[in-house]
Amino acid sequence: MGKGRGASLCLVFLSCWFLLGFVQGTPNYRDALAKSLLFFQGQRSGRLPPTQQITWRSTSGLSDGLFSHVDLTGGYYDAGDNIKFNFPMAFTTTMLSWSTLEYGKKMGPQLQEARAAIRWATDYLLKCALATPNKLYVGVGDPNVDHKCWERPEDMDTVRNVYSVSPTNPGSDVAGETAAALAAASLVFRKVDRKYSTLLLATAKKVMQFAVQYRGAYSDSLGSAVCPFYCSYSGYKDELLWGAAWLLRATNDVSYFNLLKSLGADDQTDVFSWDNKYAGARVLLARRALVNNDKNFDQFRVHAEDFMCRILPNSPYSTTQYTQGGLIYKLPESNLQYVTSITFLLTTYAKYIKSTKHTFNCGSLLVTPNSLTGLARRQASEPTKTVDYILGVNPLKMSYMVGYGQYFPKRIHHRGSSMPSMASHPQAIGCEGGFQPYYYSPNPNPNLLLGAVVGGPNQNDGYPDDRTDYSHSEPATYINAAIVGPLAYFAGRNAN
């Protein structure tokens, strides 16, 4: 995609950096939380319910799976395109579930919305796991064809290929993540829908068994159907660790602890994402060492704290870059996905150590719960921190959540948002029909994808607000899923 226009705009923004200063006051975390969950309605595939609040979206993808004689309707489009990639979708589901488990009591009326967002995904993931024996469906739609089009999901006329993994074409990574998602969701629904929770957990166990028994990376099995879009760059051992960690939490079955021990997993890391789950698994397992005082899990606590020491800016072991405006900066493309995921781990580990009055050291630096939450949220002594930065406490005074605050991205890289709705333009717009009038238009998108968090600013805190600059202007389900927990945490803290 072309990025030429963005460069000059970026320079304009950067020249304003020193003039703008920082936004004062505290963001409205509760409003941001409500919007962050509303976003998922804009990503829905399948038949939309009467309760749909993002009304410019309509029913789509009703023939998904039809030519393979399976029902694969539902689920989420992963980002600004019309593909259903199960690998990031399952991670999204796991993170929404973890957010709800940790922070549900702070969500207030949004708890129902969080459960609805999870269930929209798990209903689809159950179909993918149960439709055909010894097969796990892992995606719908040909990404190489879809990415040549700019059309609304309601108008899709591209091939809707179905992709799966099996004993002869394994996918331990996507299967391990799917098992994690189903197991985590089973805990969310355990007290409110026992029957559904039981089905989720039973399916999670089957999918995990498949992941362990037939080992291999799904990228090797599916090639260009998932690469370079959602290749499993980190391999599949982290997903086996992640899946086993979630199944252990859901079942307390010692066989999952034995699997964890057999995996070893001493790899050190300073990222957490849809691809690399090591840090997330270690924080989740460290909970047992801290909250349950189980010494068998001390190694995971040590690894979790090693991760924190690699993130904290004043740690002697920090390997994390920060922008001048104070934002964690990991990679040029869609940097906010790493920011939101890492922030989730910061607030959640802070919660664990606070409940047990635990502290740890990064060399000579003493780390307390406030050290971690202070990085997630602005403090008086710091110019800005991650959640507040995303909500507008940054050099541009710009919120990176669509519809939050006065100044936010207006030209996001998202097909449905950038084109007229079915209600205002009922005539079909074909595969290439959307490029000239809409994709390349300098005008703001006609439809607000409320709550969408975009890829975010560049390493200089600049943001061009350019639809064609997808690495900065494209939202994604996994960016949003990870910020739900921290927003609930701060919303709940402000309410107390």
Total domains in the fold of the chain: 1
Write out residues in the chain with pLDDT < 50, as ranges.
1-24, 380-384, 496
Exposure of 112 in the CB half-sphere (CA atoms within 13 A):
3
Amino acid identity at 406:
Q
Q: Could you tell me if residue 23 is inside a domain?
A: no
Instruction: Return the pLDDT at 4.
Output: 33
Q: Could you tell me if residue 54 is inside a domain?
A: no
- The residue among 172, 192, 157, 30 whose CA lies nearest residue 106 is 30
Q: How many CB atoms lie within 10 A of CB 494?
A: 13
Q: Which residues of 121-149 are buried (b: 16+ CB within 10 A; e: fewer)?
A: bbebbbbbbbbeeebbbbbbbbbeebeeb
- What is the distance between the terminal CA atoms of the chain, rounded to a whole angstrom? 46
Instruction: Return the pLDDT at 124.
Output: 98
Q: Could you tell me if residue 116 is inside a domain?
A: yes
Q: Which domain CATH number covers 250?
A: 1.50.10.10
Provide the token pair at 470: 């997808």
Q: Which helix (H) or strand (E) holds 85?
A: strand 84-85
Q: 225: which DSSP letter?
A: G
Residues with a catalytic annotation lie at 413, 465, 474
Residue 80: exposed, middle, or buried by beta-carbon count in 10 A (0-12, 13-18, 19+)?
buried
> Are 387 and 361 in contact, with CB atoms under 8 Å apart?
no
Q: Could you tell me if residue 5 is inside a domain?
A: no
Contacts for 61 with CB less than 8 Å, ≥ 6 apart: 45, 46, 73, 82, 84, 140, 153, 156, 160
Q: 48: which DSSP letter?
A: P
Cα separation, 479 vs 89, in Å, equals: 11
Q: Could you tell me if residue 12 is inside a domain?
A: no
Cα separation, 69 vs 64, in Å, equals: 10
Q: Does 383 sit behind a cis peptide bond, omega within 30 degrees of 0 on the bond before it?
A: no
Q: Treating both helix axes as pointing N-terminal to C-terminal, what angle do 86-103 and 336-355 enclose, rounded to 10 degrees?
A: 30
**Residue 415's domain spans which residues?**
29-48+60-492
If you write DSSP's letter for every residue of 145-188 in order, what string do you get? HHTT----GGG--S---EEEE-SSS--HHHHHHHHHHHHHHHHH
Q: Could you tell me if residue 6 is inside a domain?
A: no
Amino acid identity at 205:
K
| The length of the chain, given as a count of residues | 496
Our CA angle for 421, 423, 424, nearest 5°, is: 70
> What does the pLDDT look like over 139-196, one tens digit per residue?
999 999 999 999 999 999 998 999 999 999 999 999 999 999 999 999 999 999 999 9
Q: Could you tell me if residue 248 is inside a domain?
A: yes
Residue 459: exposed, middle, or buried by beta-carbon count in 10 A (0-12, 13-18, 19+)?
middle
Q: Could you tell me if residue 15 is inside a domain?
A: no
Q: Which residues of 91-119 are buried (b: 16+ CB within 10 A; e: fewer)?
A: bbbbbbbbbbbbbbebbeebbebbbebbb
Instruction: Return the pLDDT at 357.
Output: 96
- The residue among 321, 320, 281 whose CA lies nearest residue 304 is 281
Instruction: Return the pLDDT at 377.
Output: 78
Helix (H, G, I), strand (E, B) or coil at 217: coil
Ramachandran angles phi, psi of 352, nearest 5°: -65, -45
Helices H / strands E in the chain, number of each: 19, 7
**41 Cα distance to chain centroid:** 15
Cα separation, 255 vs 261, in Å, equals: 10
